[in-house]
Amino acid sequence: MATTTMEEPLVWTREAVAGAMAGCAATGPMTIAMSRLYHSLPEADRHALPPRLLTERILAPDGSARALPAGVRADITLLAHYGYGALTGALYPAAARRLGLTPVLGGAAYGVAVWAASYLGWIPAVGLLTPATRHSARRNGLMIAAHVVWGAATGLAYDRLRVRPDAFTAAVPRDAPEIPRRDSRALRWGLAALVAGAALAWSRPAAGRRGTALTAGAGCRGADAAPM
């Protein structure tokens, strides 16, 4: 009984990590679906989608985030978008156990639940956006469809990622060929290669090294040269 109690937190942790990875990966097809569906919206509804609105509201409620370059705002939005996908994905395994459905159906149902809990629940509750009941039907349809895609993909990815007995819990024999043995000869060869590489790196003329350093740092000076 004590062994089971000690193992349970580890099982929950493994499941949460697998769920977070699945949720983050599933945000990819969700984002593609959102982008495709966005172009089918009528002109009046074709403004920033909730992920962008939420990110800017959280970063700067006074609207000052709009002063940032468009590329920076887009990158921050995507990071937040994938981060939220990972966070909600970490909670999926617990929901999947209760739903008892197939990965696709259970994941899709979970995706709709995440949409409802977000856009009818905590997001309007904390004043970040108005509730979904005040958004247009087309935009709500887009977001629900995107969450169905995300949920189904999360369910499938989690089903593949979760630990299976024959993958990570099999016994390791003491005489397995993969088990490393101390090999002083390999250590000597490794140190020799490291010394040789360092010697080659420093054998170049000093001016050449200086020029390379200046060239590498040029992109860090000035907003126009920065890639991000």
Same domain, 206 and 153: no
Mean pLDDT of the chain: 81
Same domain, yes or no: 150 and 42: yes
The pLDDT of 63-78, averaged and rounded, is: 78
Residue 161 forms part of a structural domain: yes
Q: Are residue 122 and residue 207 in the same domain, yes or no? A: no
Q: Give the three-state DSSP class for 61.
A: coil
pLDDT 10s digits, 133-156: 999 999 999 999 999 999 999 999
Confidence of residue 6 (pLDDT cuts 50, 70, 90): very low
H-helix or E-strand spanning residue 214? helix 206-218
As a whole number of angstroms, the distance between CA 95 and CA 158 comes to 12
* CA dihedral of 26, 32, 37, 43, whole degrees rounded to 10: 130
Q: Do 119 and 210 sit in the same domain of this protein?
A: no
pLDDT at 215 over 50: no
Q: 198 and 87 in one domain? A: no
Q: Are 203 and 128 found together in one domain?
A: no
Q: SS3 for 54?
A: helix
Confirm whether 222 is domain-assigned: no
- pLDDT grade for 72, boundaries at 50, 70 and 90: confident
Per the structure, the complete domain to which residue 97 belongs is given by 2-165
121 & 211 share domain: no
Looking at the fold, whether 50 and 126 belong to one and the same domain comes out as: yes
Q: In terms of domains, do 15 and 90 share one?
A: yes
Q: Nearest to residue 152, comparing CAs of 93, 115, 98, 111?
A: 111
The sign of the CA dihedral 86, 124, 38, 55 is negative
53 occurs within a structural domain = yes
Q: Which of 124, 146, 165 is the last residue of a domain?
A: 165
Note whether residue 182 is domain-resident: no
CA distance 30 to 112: 13
Predicted confidence (pLDDT) per residue in 195-208, tens digit: 888 888 887 655 44
Reported pTM: 0.69
Q: Both ends of the chain: CA-CA distance in Å?
A: 54
The tokens describing 35, both together, are 């982008």
- Confidence check: pLDDT of 124 > 80: yes
Total domain count for the chain?
2
Q: Considering all CA atoms of the chain, what is the largest pairwise distance in Å, rounded to the nearest integer? A: 71
In a domain, 185, yes or no: no
Domain assignment present for 172: no
Residue 181 lies in a domain: no
Q: Are residues 203 and 155 in the same domain?
A: no
pLDDT at 197: 84
Mean pLDDT of 51-80: 81
Determine the distance from the C-alpha atom of residue 39 to the mean position of all C-alpha atoms in its chain, rounded to a whole number: 24
- 98 and 12: one domain? yes
> Rounded distance, CA 154 to CA 108, Å?
8
Does 16 fall in a domain? Answer: yes
122 and 196 co-located in one domain: no
Q: Per-residue pLDDT for 20 more than 70?
A: yes
Length, in residues, of the chain: 228
